Structure 1
Amino acid sequence: MTETDIEALIRSLVTPLLNRPDALSITQDDSGRYHQYIVDVDPGDVGRLIGRQGHVAAALRTVVEGARFRRSNSKKVRLLINDHRH
């Protein structure tokens, strides 16, 4: 079984939701317990990516977490959306 390219998966899920897909950037940061992916988009697209009451963001997180390769020592995947408001 091959390991999924999480960054490519995130990019393929997020790009159709954006009005300005050229502004999309994804950075990876490995912390102690997580493979953390930080998604930066145009400030006008943040609401489209988060969705009403966070439903779109929650669905994205569910798909990304479900795609990770499961091993006993595998780190969890964390998806963060930079909302530019803070």
Structure 2
Amino acid sequence: MIKNFIESYVKLIASNPDSIPVSEKQIDDTFIEVTISADTHDVGKLIGKNGNMINALKTMANGCKAKDGVSYKIQVVAN
């Protein structure tokens, strides 16, 4: 659920949306790591000024934690 939302959200923001894979790795029963791999010129857009864009995604993921009890870590890495 979170992965699909993040994937559609970042593809709306990025200049080259087809080259942005979003992967999900389950660490244990209560922790999932979501990694967004982007081109170097899109990383700044995804993080946003003062980290506002990525913080908005993290806030939304924390809201989902209340529903399903799973914690999410969201990372943006450059290709």
Both proteins in one fold, TM over 0.5: yes
Task: Name the structure where strand makes up a greater proportion of residues.
Answer: 2
TM-score relative to the length of structure 1: 0.78
Contact 2:39–2:78 (Cα < 8 Å) also in 1:
no
Percent sequence identity is 23
The answer to whether structure 1 residue 10 and structure 2 residue 6 are counterparts is: yes
Larger radius of gyration: 1
What is the match of residue 25 of structure 1?
21
Task: Name the structure where helix makes up a greater proportion of residues.
Answer: 2
- Three-state SS of the structure 1 residue aligned to 2:4 is helix
Aligned length: 78
> 1:68 deviation in Å?
4.2
TM-score relative to the length of structure 2: 0.84
Contact 1:23–1:41 (Cα < 8 Å) also in 2:
yes
Structure 2: gaps (5+ residues): none
